Every structure is written in structure tokens, then in C-alpha cells.
Amino acid sequence: MVPPQTTPRAKQRRGEGQWALGYREPLNPNERSKKDDNPLNVRTRIENIYAHGGFDSIDPADLRGRFRWYGLYTQRKPGIDGGRTATLEPEELDDEYFMLRVRIDGGRLTTQQLALIGELSQTYARDTADITDRQNIQYHWIRIEDVPTIWQKLEAAGLTTMEACGDSPRVILGSPVAGIAQDEVIDGSPAIDEILTRYIGDPRFSNLPRKFKTAISGLQDVAHEVHDIAFVGVNHPEHGPGFDLWVGGGLSTNPMLGKRLGTWIPLDEVPDVWEGVISVFRDYGYRRLRHRARIKFLVADWGPEKFRQILQDEYLKRELVDGPAPEALPQARDHIGVHPQKDGLFYVGAAPIAGRVSGSTLVEVAKVVERAGSGRVRLTPQQKLIVLDVPESEIKTLQADLAKLGLQTEPSPWRRGVMACTGIEFCKLAIVETKARAVDLVSTLETSLKDIVDGVSAPISVHINGCPNSCARIQTADIGLKGQIVTDADGNQVEGFQVHLGGGLGLDAGFGRKLRGHKVTADELSDYVERVVRNFVAQRTEDERFAQ
């Protein structure tokens, strides 16, 4: 007997929830919440109701859904171990305090803005401030009562938390040295500014199937390969400097590298093309299953040729110009150290460990930067900080002042190469500790690997995640560490990591290999990394990269 074909047919009828194909009825609770009320409307309720009524007055649909559109997540209740993360209900994990993410597009800050961010942290966030790997600043311990005041102060300084999280166009990554780098192909900053002005907070793009991450850079320094959309500087043989368009990159549990559409986009057309791509995503993106909703799944199913055709035919209503691929760089650039700018001044890149600073540190950084004659700093996608526009005569003093604040400008390869996500200290999805572990790891390796530091010509990246999500881009690290509960030698269930080895971006971009059985307990972590690095340095051929 032929089995009934109800399941495939039902699936076809239901489809993937793509609006453009007529599927408008929400197919999961997240889609329902966004349809019930545009998430951007939650701001009014925060200002008028929740900030007065306190935590208990917050509607759960806002608390665990729409708040994200303004950079707000509840943080993890202290004291809940990682083994219980998956077993508890969301309300059991929720603390009454919030993480608040300030979007800093292109990582661009003036010293006044930096000082304000630091002061707000001192007043409202128990002096917490992390530089994230998306060039944001993340606060913790925020009370809902204080949020409207924080917004007022941030906005008066030209900063915002709008669409810092949620199914929306999030912070736009840009080269930290845009406009000053001697070797950039093109400065993408005007396109970033135009996109912010035209589209951030625009209700047409505030209900996407999932988050939408953008990178725009005339240098290859923003991990463009793993973005939903990326514009990468390239010289066209006839048309000159412009951008190569990539779509469909992303990490998390189904990592994919972005695909080139084979087009060349001039600077002034970047915002229109960005609007076209985000519109394709909004209309054709999959909304049935959250774990298949990023644009990468659509691009993987369609292929870059079909994606380009739909973009051109249905949205831009014109053909795009064909263009060449940018020449891949051997290694992602992090801008640490002292570098000449094209105007005769210098930029100085400094490394906190895994982005962990504090409000007080940022206030002091603003002062020493101004003393050095500069008014501009940049945050980087590697969780680092760069001071721009430094006169040569001020470099040494600035370096010494930054070092006193824990920001080394000639860091060890480990301090330079370590990144870590938020982890169990504050993140509700976390299984293990990350930031404190990164600090321990760096200090241990700086002692234990002192004898071979000269043999390590480039930083070896060690990225630490607190769970299977990939906020710290573990698949693109030389040594990627995915937090999980593992069994130790005595049979105990303890914090540990699944190891991924040999990932990288740029030339030979690819994801690290997950080696079966390659797990390490948190207590063994520094010994393990030391062994891996020693083996690599002892066995490598000249100029061999870790990923090869």
C-alpha cells in the first residue's frame, strides 16, 4: 500500500512562512508577538508604564520579546549553574536587572561620548561595560526605572539603543580606521551614516524574520564573511573603488560563509542596494522555524544567482554592474599597536582582555586620549579599542597611560587574540563562565608560554563561547571553545568546552574542525591551549598559518 502523503503536502501548504508567497498568518510565538504589535512601540510603554511600575508591571510579551528592539535583555539570575540552563523556565532564569546594549555603528565614538558612556555605567550599571565583538558597548545591572533617563542622556550625545537587538537591522560594523587608513580601498562611513538616517527605526524594517547583521568596510577588518550582508571594498578595473556585495553569512549552530553576488556597488548606491537586500529578506525570509530564519538559509536554498536576479528584478528594477572579488588578505587585521594614518598622525590600538573594561576605565580613557590631543576613539570587532589622530610626540605617553588602565598597546599574542562572549555571569543561555576564564587564560599563558613568544609571529586567536551559539565567533578562531558540560577524569559533570581547531577568515576562510572527543574541562583549559600552541610552533613550516 502506498503510504498517505499528508506530511509533505501539509508542509508544502504551510511553506516556510514567507510573506511574499502569501503566508501572513504567524507560524510561531515570535512571529505572533511581532504581528500583534510593532516592537518599536514598546518604547512608549517603557517610558509611560514600566519605568514607573517597576519590573513586576512588565507584560511578559514585551519583557522577553519586544524589549530587545531597544537593546534590553533580562540578565541571568545569579547563582544558577550552567547544568540547569536548559531545564528551567525563562521566568526562573530572569533577573530583575537588564543587559542594555548601546549600538555604536562603525565603532565610532568621540571622547565626549566615551566619557558619557562611562559615567552612565558608574551611575546606573554598577560600573560594568563590555566592548562586544560587534563594536557595541554592553551594560549590565540596569533597572527598568532608569532606562528612560539613560536613553535621554545617550540620545542627547547622538547615541542610541534602538534596534541594538531583536529581529531588526542591528549595529552596522565598519572599519575602525575608515577614512584614515593608508591602504583602505574606500571609506564606507558615508554609506553607514545614510543607512542609519534612512532605515534604523523605520517600521518597514522592524519586523524581519530574524536579526540582520551588516558590515561595510574598505579594508577586510570586520569579519565580512560571516554577515547577513557585507560590502567589501574592491577596485573595479573600469569604475574604480567601490564595494563587492556578499549575502548569507552567519555563524550560530549552522555556520555558513557569505556568498558573493558578483556585483560592484559604488558608494552612493550602497544604501539602495542594502534596502533591496533587507527587503528580499523581509519578504522571502523563512518565518516558520526560528532556527531556519536567518537569511543564510534562503541564500543557501536559492543560490547567489537567483538571489541577485530577484533583487534586481523585483526590488532594484535594474541590472547591477558585474564586479571582481576583492583580493583576500592572509589574516584578519586587528589594528593593535601604533600605525601611521594617511594625514601624518597615528592611530594606536590597545587590547583589554576579551573586551572587559568598566565605566571608570572608559572615563579615564577619554581623559588620556584628550591629553594626547585626540578626540576620537574606535571600538573593534575583536573587542579592542583604538585611539585615532595621535601626534607622533604624544604616542609614548599615551601608550603608558593606556597601559596603566589595563589597555596594552604591545600585548602578548594571547591578550591580543582572545575573545569571549558574555557567558554565565549574565547570559541566560550560557552553560559556562567565559570572561573571567579568558582573563585567567591570558595571565596563565603570558607566564607559561614566555619562552616561545618570539616564535609566534601573529596572534593565535582563542575565542570562548558560553553555549552552542556563536556570539564570540568560535568557528572562525584558530582555537574555538564552545561551552558545555563535560565529564572529568573522575566522572563528574563539570564546566568545559568542545574544541574547534583551525578556523579563520580572509585567505582560506573556513570553519574550525570539531574534532570528535576533543573536549576539555575548564580546569584543564590553559594546559590544553599551551600544548596546542607549543605543538603548532614546534611543527609548523615557515609562514604557515594556524588554520593551514
CA atoms within 13 A on the CB side of 355: 28
Helix axes 147-156, 111-124, angle to 10 degrees: 170
Find the shortest distance in angstroms from Cβ 310 to ligand SF4.
Answer: 32
**Residues 496-515, mask of contacts with ligand SF4 (x by CB under 6 A):** --------------------
Half-sphere exposure for 32 (CA within 13 Å, toward CB): 4
What are the residues whose beta carbons fall under 8 Å from the beta carbon of 502, sequence distance 6 or more?
478, 510, 512, 513, 546, 547, 548
Q: Which of 188, 250, 423, 512 binds ligand SF4 (CB under 6 A)?
A: 423
Minimum CB separation of residue 254 from ligand SF4 in Å reads 15
- Tell whether residue 430 is a contact of ligand SF4 (CB under 6 A): yes
Nearer to ligand SF4, 411 or 483 (CB): 483
Measured in residues, the chain has a length of 548
Q: Which residues contact 389 (CB under 8 A, 6 or more apart)?
A: 180, 341, 345, 347, 373, 374, 375, 376
Based on CB atoms, which residue is closest to ligand SF4, 194 or 425?
A: 425
How deeply is 37 buried, as exposed, middle or buried, from its count of CB atoms within 10 A (0-12, 13-18, 19+)? middle
Cα distance between residue 216 and residue 501, in whole Å: 28
Number of shown-chain residues binding ligand SF4 (CB under 6 A) = 11
Distance, CA of 192 to CA of 209 (rounded, Å):
22
Tell me if residue 102 falls in helix, strand or coil: strand
> If binding is defined by CB under 6 A, does position 166 make contact with ligand SF4?
no
Alpha carbon distance 204, 502 (integer Å): 40
- Give the Cα separation of 350 and 337 in Å (integer): 7
Sole window of 89-97, 376-384, 426-434, 515-523 interacting with ligand SF4 (rule: CB under 6 A)? 426-434
Kindly tell me which of 407 and 471 has the beta carbon lying closer to ligand SF4: 471
- Draw the binding track, 453-472, toward ligand SF4 (x: CB under 6 A; -: no contact): ------------xxx-x-x-
Q: In the sheet where 337-340 sits, what is the strand order?
A: 108-110, 376-379, 385-390, 346-350, 337-340
Stretch that binds ligand SF4, among 142-150, 223-231, 331-339, 421-429 (CB under 6 A): 421-429
CB closer to ligand SF4, 233 vs 352: 352
Minimum Å distance from CB 93 to ligand SF4? Answer: 12
Query: How far apart are CB 467 and ligand SF4 at their closest, in Å?
Result: 3
Q: Does residue 422 belong to the site contacting ligand SF4 (CB under 6 A)?
A: yes
Write the interaction track for ligand SF4 spanning residues 95-134; mark x where CB under 6 A is met and - where it is not.
----------------------------------------
Restricting to residues 23-82, name those near ligand SF4 by CB under 6 A.
none
Residue showing the smallest CB distance to ligand SF4 in the complex: 466
Dmax over CA atoms of the chain, in Å, equals 86
366-376 burial: b if 16+ Cβ within 10 Å, else e:
bebbeebebbb
Q: Which residue number, 389 or 495, has a Cβ lying nearer to ligand SF4? A: 495
362 or 472, CB closer to ligand SF4?
A: 472
Distance in Å, CB of 469 to ligand SF4, minimum: 4
Which residues make beta-bridge pairs with 234? 242
The stretch near ligand SF4 (CB under 6 A) out of 99-107, 361-369, 403-411, 415-423 is: 415-423
Smallest separation (angstroms) from ligand SF4 to the CB of 22:
34
Which of 427, 449, 505, 532 is close enough to bind ligand SF4 by CB under 6 A? 427
User: Which residue number, 311 or 379, has a Cβ lying nearer to ligand SF4?
Assistant: 379
- Closest among 534, 89, 114 to 363, alpha carbons compared: 114
The contact set with ligand SF4 (CB under 6 A) reads: 421-423, 427, 429-430, 465-467, 469, 471
